[in-house]
Structure 1
């Protein structure tokens, strides 16, 4: 199965804003970024999956109006840090988390290991589907987890994988 992993387009946010699950607007460049994404996709795909976040749904609906929303495609849950900026959260707590984000979570949020578990649950169930091609509109963290799995990269090294806004990655997913 051909799988097109697509990161949402550029959000309209201030530098350092924490927005894993927080809905944010997109920049005025959305139409141009959308057009660039669409050029990289086949004329039709069998199914489009999307994170529930508005920033993903807008692009997913431009690909197919009947996209399927999947909660497992959400970005990392930053818990109490959602909607804040990095310079306003407790620095000591955030440094402890940054040193072991794989196992630790932000206050009332989720760890990268927890996120990986839900993302891989979706990924493994996708392999059982009869589709020839799918598009998945999601977030940088989700795409990094899938690419790390595909490339055999340790979860602690996921941020070494560069994923730009509106970037498309094509993978082959084998059926079990």
Structure 2
């Protein structure tokens, strides 16, 4: 089994903007970035899964006319912080979260353990299918969690993994 983890292309956001679940536009370079991604993938994918976010479904639609959306592929839920900038968040709240994002939830959002539970439930489901070549169009946080699990890294280390916009990672879960 080959599973291609694909991060969406570059969004049109200002630095420091918090947009885990917030819909954002993609940069004008989308077509160029998508073309580079397509070159890294096999021609015949059995199935393409996508986060519901438009920044993912736009790319998924180029890869397959019948891609499947799964809510478990959403990016981290920043709750009340969505759509704000880091410099406007209460520093005590943000510091408490940064000190222990694994266990501490953002206000009306989630923590990394909760995100990990939904992402790994999705992973369990797809690795049990008969598909041999699949693609997952999703977000940096989701990809980091899956790569950390594959590399047997502690959850706290997931953000140490570099995942750029448009990056493609190949995993072989049945080997």
Question: Which TM-score band (shorter chain)?
Answer: over 0.9
Q: How does 1:53-68 map to 2 (within 5 A)?
A: 53-68=53-68
For residues 87 and 65 of structure 1, what CA distance do their matches in structure 2 show? 41
For residues 121 and 98 of structure 1, what CA distance do their matches in structure 2 show? 25
For residues 49 and 23 of structure 1, what CA distance do their matches in structure 2 show? 18
Match of 1:166 in 2: 166
For residues 36 and 138 of structure 1, what CA distance do their matches in structure 2 show? 16
- Residue 21 of structure 1, CA deviation: 0.2
For residues 160 and 76 of structure 2, what CA distance do their matches in structure 1 show? 17
Task: Check if 1:2 corresponds to 2:2.
Answer: yes
For residues 139 and 11 of structure 1, what CA distance do their matches in structure 2 show? 11
- TM-score in terms of structure 1 length: 0.98
For residues 32 and 39 of structure 1, what CA distance do their matches in structure 2 show? 11
For residues 105 and 140 of structure 1, what CA distance do their matches in structure 2 show? 18
Deviations 1:23-78 (A, max 9, x none): 00000000010000000000110000000000000000000011000000000000
Structure 2: segments with no counterpart, 5+ residues = none
Task: Check if 1:25 corresponds to 2:25.
Answer: yes
For residues 3 and 60 of structure 2, what CA distance do their matches in structure 1 show? 14
Q: How does 1:10-159 map to 2 (within 5 A)?
A: 10-159=10-159
Structure 1: segments with no counterpart, 5+ residues = none
- For the aligned residues, what is the CA RMSD? 0.7
SS at structure 2 position matched to 1:166? coil
Count of residue pairs the alignment pairs up: 175
- Residue 85 of structure 1, CA deviation: 0.3
SS at structure 2 position matched to 1:156? helix
User: Runs of 4+ in structure 1 displaced over 2 angstroms?
Assistant: none
For residues 94 and 133 of structure 2, what CA distance do their matches in structure 1 show? 40
SS at structure 1 position matched to 2:61? helix
